[in-house]
């Protein structure tokens, strides 16, 4: 019992300090995950020694889970962006492959030259050649560059480089075992079949036949965990399997933004900071030699990436985006350490190089943050733009709300005292059995956890917490009663009305 209490306190302290450090770095326009890594570094054996990582298997567990969930979200949100490239997809494909291959080859030559074994040198080269799209997209959004055609194209190039790195990494760490490679190839085919024809259908079936609240969320989480474990057992990296699941679930999650937001809340609120803090905890000593080597590796990896980026995008800001590190490549790095492919010394050097590259990546974008809408966001209140109240009582028969659902697409479900209970979508009705529809009531197929906002809140509240991703928002008064509803189109329409006025 004492061991469990100690582990719980350790996890709590690590999570709290990591999130606070992330916030500090974000406020100075630097990637938040740098703060989480430094938190692990300071609390770990290399500085204060407050957390003994080797004896904390619970931390190691959550660190590894963070890898799977980060890759799942990357697949669900980033890979679908390939359609943004349109006719330029072939250009983005070539640029992405070259952006990965050239730095990888240069790095491999250097690491072989300083005496690393071919196997370790190849693994590290792949990691340094990879591009992490998550921090890249966040930087593009914060700087306003995502609205430019080049901004969208750079995402596609990054995605292709990222996926290529994952596939090559998975092949590299398994290439010594031919039988495992054959098994992994068959498993990939099965994973593709499962993802394309079974995965989303299974989630639809859960929604249709299981009335337990949060059942789709529970099934989704369990499948991410199970598929990741099975993949590792048969020779596929859990990272690649999780990425594939994310890709196959992208369309399903687009229709259910509330479900995606819960997965993201679990990942970015708990597993991601634990993952990056785990990177810092794995650094057992501050070694001057490791720091020096890390700086050299960062320079060797950065020069070809920036050069290729500037040739492709003809702009140094977009070229610097190719230095983005922090999500997928960090997951591959930790996987290489756990498998014994990468030594502790080289792990510490690569962490240093990744931190340096992220700082170089961030500097050209720091002074380009958009602020033209800040005044509007801070001044306008929800009550100023709200003009509808689209609600339905929980006990109402489905047949009586079909016309309203056809018109609005979504409605907030309330109880007899006008308190919000959930929401119902038009798509929920289409999934119901037509023969039993006359007997169904709204409460039987509604979705729980409708987002709520106070009528006196500022519009910034909606934007800052991504509540506009939901199909409908309940506006409440001081007594927690629904007094109106909002859709993201209502927000834009209300702002337009105020501007014109």
* Predicted TM-score (pTM) of this structure: 0.63
At residue 122, the pLDDT reads: 92
Query: Which residues share a beta bridge with 489?
Result: none
Residue 343 has pLDDT above 80, yes or no: yes
4-8, 80-84, 441-445: segment of lowest average pLDDT: 80-84
Nearest to 123 by CA among 350, 278, 282, 361: 350
Which has more pLDDT, 180 or 490?
Answer: 490
pLDDT over 90 for what percent of the chain?
10
Query: What is the pLDDT averaged over residues 449-469?
Result: 67
**Edge-to-edge strands of the sheet including 410-414?**
391-393, 410-414, 420-425, 447-448
Measured at the alpha carbon of residue 333, what is the angle toward residues 30 and 266, in degrees to the nearest 5?
60
* Angstrom distance (rounded) from CA 327 to CA 272: 9
Top-confidence residue, 33 or 17:
17
Label residue 340 left, alpha or beta by phi (over 0 means left) and psi (-120 to 50 means alpha): left
What is the model's pLDDT at position 375?
41
Quote the mean pLDDT of the chain.
77
CA–CA dist 391, 383 (Å, integer): 17
The CB density around residue 155, as the number of other CB atoms within 10 Å, is 22
CA separation for the pair 358, 134 (Å, rounded)? 12
Q: What is the pLDDT of residue 371?
A: 40
Q: Which residue(s) pair with 475 in the sheet? A: 453, 484
What is the pLDDT confidence band of residue 168, given thresholds at 50, 70 and 90? confident
pLDDT tens string 92-105? 788 889 989 999 99
What is the band of 353 on the pLDDT scale with cuts at 50, 70, 90? very high
Give ∠ CA 176-182-185 in degrees, rounded to 5. Answer: 115
Residue range 470-487: mean pLDDT, rounded: 85
User: Is residue 369's pLDDT more than 50?
Assistant: no
Encoded tokens for 344: 């502790």
Helices first, then strands: H and E counts in the chain: 25, 7
Report the pLDDT value the prediction gives residue 146, as an integer from 0 to 100: 59
| Alpha helices in 249-287, H assignment, sequence order | 250-255, 257-266, 272-281
Lowest mean pLDDT among 173-182, 223-232, 429-438: 173-182
380-404 pLDDT, tens digit per residue, is 677 777 778 889 998 898 888 888 8
What does the DSSP assignment read for 80-114?
Answer: GGGGGGGGGHHHHHHHHHHHHHHHHHHHHHHHHHT
pLDDT tens digits for range 251-310: 777 767 667 778 888 888 888 888 788 778 877 777 889 899 999 999 999 999 888 888
Confidence of residue 372 (pLDDT cuts 50, 70, 90): very low
> What span, in angstroms and rounded, lies between the C-alpha atoms of 212 and 193?
28
Q: Map out the domains of the chain with their CATH numbers.
A: 68-275+289-368 (1.20.1530.20), 375-500 (3.10.580.10)
Predicted local distance difference test score (pLDDT) of residue 377: 43
Please say if the pLDDT value at position 61 is more than 80. Answer: no
Pairing between β-strand 473-476 and β-strand 452-454 as defined by DSSP bridges? parallel
Greater confidence (242 vs 111) lies with 111
- Average pLDDT on 408-419 reads 88
Q: Measuring CA to CA, which residue among 468, 472, 469, 470 is closest to residue 495?
A: 468
Please tell me the predicted confidence (pLDDT) of residue 500. 52
């Amino acid at each position: 019992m004492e061991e469990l209490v100690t582990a719980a306190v350790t996890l709590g302290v690590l999570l709290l300090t990591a999130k606070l450090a992330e916030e500090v770095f974000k406020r100075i326009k630097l990637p938040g995950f740098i703060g989480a890594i430094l938190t692990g570094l300071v609390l770990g054996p290399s500085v204060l020694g407050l957390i003994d990582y080797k004896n904390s298997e619970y931390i190691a567990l959550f660190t590894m889970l963070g890898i799977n969930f980060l890759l799942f979200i990357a697949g669900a949100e980033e890979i679908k962006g390939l359609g943004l490239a349109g006719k330029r997809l072939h250009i983005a494909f070539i640029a992405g492959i070259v952006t990965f291959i050239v730095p990888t080859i240069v790095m491999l030559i250097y690491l072989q030259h300083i005496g690393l074994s071919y196997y370790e040198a190849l693994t590290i080269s792949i990691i340094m050649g990879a591009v992490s799209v998550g921090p890249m997209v966040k930087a593009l959004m914060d700087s306003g560059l995502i609205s430019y055609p080049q901004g969208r194209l750079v995402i596609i190039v990054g995605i292709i480089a990222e996926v290529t790195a994952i596939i090559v990494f998975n092949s590299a760490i398994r290439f010594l075992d031919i039988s495992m490679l054959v098994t992994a190839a068959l498993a990939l085919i099965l994973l593709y079949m499962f993802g394309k024809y079974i995965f989303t259908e299974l989630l639809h079936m859960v929604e249709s036949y299981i009335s337990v609240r949060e059942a789709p969320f529970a099934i989704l989480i369990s499948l991410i965990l199970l598929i990741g474990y099975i993949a590792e057992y048969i020779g596929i990296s859990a990272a690649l399997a999780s990425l594939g699941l994310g890709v196959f679930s992208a369309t399903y999650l687009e229709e259910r933004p509330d479900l995606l937001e819960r997965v993201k809340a679990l990942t970015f609120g708990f597993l991601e900071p634990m993952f990056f803090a785990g990177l810092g905890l794995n650094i057992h000593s501050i070694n001057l030699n490791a720091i020096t080597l890390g700086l050299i590796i960062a320079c060797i990896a950065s020069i070809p990436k920036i050069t290729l980026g500037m040739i492709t995008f003809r702009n140094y800001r977009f070229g610097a985006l190719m230095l983005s590190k922090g999500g997928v490549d960090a997951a591959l790095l930790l996987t290489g350490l756990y498998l014994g492919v990468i030594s502790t010394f080289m792990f510490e050097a690569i962490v240093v190089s990744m931190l340096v590259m992220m700082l170089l990546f961030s500097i050209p974008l720091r002074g380009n943050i958009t602020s033209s809408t800040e005044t509007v966001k801070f001044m306008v209140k929800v009550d100023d733009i709200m003009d509808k109240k689209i609600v339905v009582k929980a006990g109402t028969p489905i047949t009586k709300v079909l016309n309203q659902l056809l018109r609005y697409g979504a409605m907030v479900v309330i109880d007899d005292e006008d308190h919000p209970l959930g929401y119902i979508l038009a798509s929920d009705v289409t999934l119901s059995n037509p023969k039993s529809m006359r007997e169904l009531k709204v409460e039987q197929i509604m979705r729980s956890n409708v987002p709520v906002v106070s009528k006196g809140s500022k519009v910034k509240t909606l934007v800052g917490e991504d509540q506009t991703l939901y199909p409908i928002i309940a506006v409440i008064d001081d007594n927690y009663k629904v007094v109106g509803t909002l859709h993201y189109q209502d927000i834009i329409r209300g702002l337009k009305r105020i501007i014109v006025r």
